Structure 1
Amino acid sequence: VEKIKFQIETAWNANEENYQDTVMYVIKKMDEGCIRVSYFSEGKWKVNEWVKKAILMFFSMREINVIEVGPLEFYDKIPIKNKFKEKGVRVVPPAVARYGSFISPGVTLMPSYVNIGAYIGKDTMIDTWATVGSCAQVGNRVHISGGVGIGGVLEPIQSNPVIIEDDVFIGSRCILVEGVLIEKEAVLGANVVLTSSTKIFDVTREDRAIEMKGFIPKSSVVIPGTYPKKFPSGIYHVPCALIIGKRKDSTNKKTSLNEVLRQHRLSF
């Protein structure tokens, strides 16, 4: 890996054209799940910037071609991922995943879209009209509900992708962009919108709310909310996210999620 990393960095910095084989190798290994854009080490997520550089160089070296899939026709630079039966992945038409994304065994893709560089863990559900953007990292046993938008990021090179850890439930029509991190076992209610600048308030304490940005702590139950903000023409309510509870460790994942639905009367 270090040798490949060095070759990609050299080609990127020197703007060399003789790098096609190395770039193709990196994309192939991403497609197989051997190389990832982001990885967890020493208690935090880190970005392989050189992998993102390889993706950008892959785009620049590819020509637009006609891609025929049965009666369907596409016109694009990036091939479509295939051989899902061998990979143990269920794909419902017209779901599409780009070559260079990795989809683990046991994943179900309802009619949805997965972009290059994305990583999807085992037994995860990507529901109808959900989109998994470039380089997004989705863990094991995650449920991405219908219409969810998970943003992609290739530039700036050093930016973190959206990361969703294991056993997370993302409610319908949520939007997650700009490198937000959803930690393990969190539950997001329908229509939660999170960017890097979205204010997130933990309102479970009686003395005061705790404000944070950019991440949802482990096992949090989150709903959309608003907070008042003063503008020249008056006070208006700005969107935010509210942490209103926690999933319990004393129950299994399925039971805990059902309890959340009953206790908080949430829409998912």
Structure 2
Amino acid sequence: MKVNVLKLEIDKIWDKKNTWIKKSDTIIKVVDHLENGYIRVSDCLNGKWVVNEWIKRAIIMFFFIKKMNTIELGPLEFYDKIPIKNKFREKGIRVVPHAIARYGAYISSGVVLMPSYVNIGAFIGKGTMIDTWATVGSCAQIGDRVHISGGVGIGGVLEPIQATPVIIENDVFIGSRCILVEGILIEKGSVLGANVVLTASTKIFDVTHDKSIEMKGIIPKYSVVIPGSYPKKFPSGTYYVPCAIIIGKRKESTDKKTSLNDALRTHNLVI
């Protein structure tokens, strides 16, 4: 079934919950397409990321039509609705025990999964490293040659349907224990130091100019970012709340590894 036909079918039955079971083949086909990378929850069109809401709808319907089932992996047992991804060898993906990826997440060849978790609807590009105890939430979009360091939490999003997932573009480095949620966009080549926390409401200050520039929701390409705080007045007094600080720019270089090392040394960055 062609993608445009799938979209029309999903949109048609979305508000008719009593028809979901009857249309289970269509819903399952959408998740199969996600699994194989034929479609993705968000696409970059003309430089702008667009959410494919109909795919998120299909995932929600998939949860509804699937039944709880016991999943046995050697001595391990799970009880869930969604199958676990498999056939990693054929797909050219290195998976270290106890990495888990759910069916419906697309993982490209050359990806390394250390003990970590990848949820349904996620997309992971070629050559990316998902390090130990990192979590990739539902529908998160991660580009090529990205390094997700240990303990990083990347938030998932299924509802509201129109909400943008966390998007990390190519050649990005995410330092240990960073938390990225609520549709944050990390543009290509950026480096986030350890413990940077970004939500839709987190203030981001670019301090590389004579006057600080404030923004939210996006880290511009090749930015070098560290965690910070700023004073905020409350009825009971002034307190410091978290923010992110852009302290420099990573050089756009064909040698990404050398560029990353230069950025870390130049800015004395902890990752």
Report the TM-score when normalising by structure 2.
0.97
Measure how far apart 1:90 and its partner are: 0.1
| Partner Cα distance (1:34, 1:14) in 2 | 26
| Partner Cα distance (2:265, 2:5) in 1 | 53
Structure 1 segment 1-268 matched on structure 2, within 5 A: 1-15=3-17, 16-17=19-20, 18-206=22-210, 208-250=211-253, 252-268=255-271
| Partner Cα distance (1:147, 1:230) in 2 | 32
Query: 8 Å contact 2:225–2:244 — kept in the other structure?
Result: yes
Measure how far apart 1:249 and its partner are: 2.0
Question: Is there any run of 5+ residues in structure 1 with no aligned partner, and where?
Answer: none
Question: Is there any run of 5+ residues in structure 2 with no aligned partner, and where?
Answer: none
State the AA in 2 paired with 1:165. Answer: E
SS at match of 1:13: coil
| Partner Cα distance (1:250, 1:31) in 2 | 33
State the AA in 1 paired with 2:148. Answer: I
Measure how far apart 1:42 and its partner are: 1.8
Task: Describe the shift of the 1:248–1:10 C-alpha distance in structure 2 as closer, same or farther (beyond 3 A).
Answer: same
Measure how far apart 1:251 and its partner are: 6.1
| Partner Cα distance (1:150, 1:139) in 2 | 13
Query: 8 Å contact 2:125–2:142 — kept in the other structure?
Result: yes
| Partner Cα distance (2:250, 2:203) in 1 | 21
Measure how far apart 1:250 and its partner are: 4.8
| Partner Cα distance (1:231, 1:170) in 2 | 32
State the AA in 1 paired with 2:270. Answer: S
Report the TM-score when normalising by structure 1.
0.98
Measure how far apart 1:253 and its partner are: 1.0
SS at match of 2:15: helix
SS at match of 1:58: helix
Query: 8 Å contact 2:189–2:252 — kept in the other structure?
Result: no
State the AA in 2 paired with 1:72. Answer: L
Per-residue CA deviations over 1:99-134 (Å, capped at 9, x if unaligned) read: 000000000000000000000000000000000000
Per-residue CA deviations over 1:136-167 (Å, capped at 9, x if unaligned) read: 00000000000000000000000000000000
